């Protein structure tokens, strides 16, 4: 007597065979997907380590700049509210900006990007403003480093001075980096050859390793992360509206 599967109306044996076939294909597909994913992960890893593009390099440095600007926002808030916080958080953040952004990232832009746009006769006005802003930023940073001490935080003259410096810095650098990310960097590929573009990436990495060691970027991110913890702004989920 033939026994039927009630749901599918198939003989049990046939139904069982289909189920096994389905599972076999599923396992095979899963294995292939895993192998493919593994291959993809491996190839991306190699690419990341050896061939980081110049724009990716510059943009992840902007990520460090952005995180320091969030630190500046937090410090500014403490200064305005007269709340206590460690002056080292402010001073060390400004030192990261001086060493990693101004003396490295911006030097790359000034040495390798701006002259190429000048030579191509493109984005001249934008490049000029960006260059002037680098110089203005350095002056602000130097003053933040000087005033990043316990006395200045509560001093009636230095406190508002620091508030203004932090405010000026973020007010200038947010539009500055957003123009670079959306206008200048995307245009770079259009004015230089593919070979020159990727050679630039190698030059950037070489310079970064020379100045900060093989893990220069990771080291800066770690430094920023420690300061964020000290200021209580390291938990990303706290930025989500309730």
Binding site for Fe ion (CB under 5 A): 109, 130, 180
What's 87's DSSP letter? H
Least separation in angstroms between residue 166's CB and Fe ion is 19
Name which of 65 and 231 has its Cβ closer to Fe ion.
65
Least separation in angstroms between residue 136's CB and Fe ion is 11
Query: Within 13 Å and on the Cβ side, how many CA atoms surround 154?
Result: 7
Least separation in angstroms between residue 188's CB and Fe ion is 12
Q: How far is residue 148 from each of residues 3, 51, 152, 187, 193, measured CA to CA in Å?
A: 84, 38, 7, 38, 45
Return d(Cα 9, Cα 5) in angstroms, integer: 5
Least separation in angstroms between residue 197's CB and Fe ion is 17
Of 212, 236, 228, 227, residue with least CA distance to 61: 212
Residue 103: which residues within 8 A CB-CB, separation 6 or more?
211
Question: What is the token pair recorded at 212?
Answer: 């900060």
Name which of 180 and 205 has its Cβ closer to Fe ion.
180
Q: In residues, how long is the chain?
A: 242
One DSSP character per residue, 18-32 reads HHHHHHHHHHHHHHH
Name which of 109 and 208 has its Cβ closer to Fe ion.
109
Name which of 130 and 227 has its Cβ closer to Fe ion.
130
Least separation in angstroms between residue 221's CB and Fe ion is 16
Name which of 66 and 159 has its Cβ closer to Fe ion.
66
């Amino acid at each position: 007597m033939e026994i039927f599967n009630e749901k599918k109306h198939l003989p049990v044996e046939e139904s069982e065979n289909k189920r096994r076939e389905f599972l076999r294909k599923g396992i095979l597909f899963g294995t292939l997907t895993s192998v493919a994913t593994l291959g993809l992960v491996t190839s991306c890893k190699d690419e990341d380590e050896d061939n980081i593009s110049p724009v990716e390099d510059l943009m992840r440095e902007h990520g460090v700049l952005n995180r320091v600007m969030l630190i500046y926002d937090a410090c500014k808030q403490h200064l305005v509210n007269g709340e206590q916080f460690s002056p080292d958080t402010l001073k060390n953040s400004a030192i990261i900006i001086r060493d990693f952004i101004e003396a490295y990232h911006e030097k790359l832009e000034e040495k390798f990007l701006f002259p190429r746009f000048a030579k191509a006769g493109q984005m001249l006005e934008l490049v000029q403003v960006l260059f002037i802003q680098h110089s203005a930023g350095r002056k602000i940073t130097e003053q933040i480093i000087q005033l990043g001490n316990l006395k200045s935080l509560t001093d009636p003259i230095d406190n508002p001075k620091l508030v203004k410096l932090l405010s000026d810095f973020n007010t200038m650098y947010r539009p500055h980096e957003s123009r670079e990310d959306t206008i200048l960097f995307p245009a770079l590929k259009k004015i230089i050859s593919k070979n020159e573009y990727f050679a630039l990436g190698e030059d950037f990495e070489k310079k970064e390793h020379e100045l900060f060691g093989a893990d220069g970027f990771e080291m800066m991110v770690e430094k920023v992360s420690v300061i964020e913890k000290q200021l209580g702004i390291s938990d990303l989920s706290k930025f989500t509206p309730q």
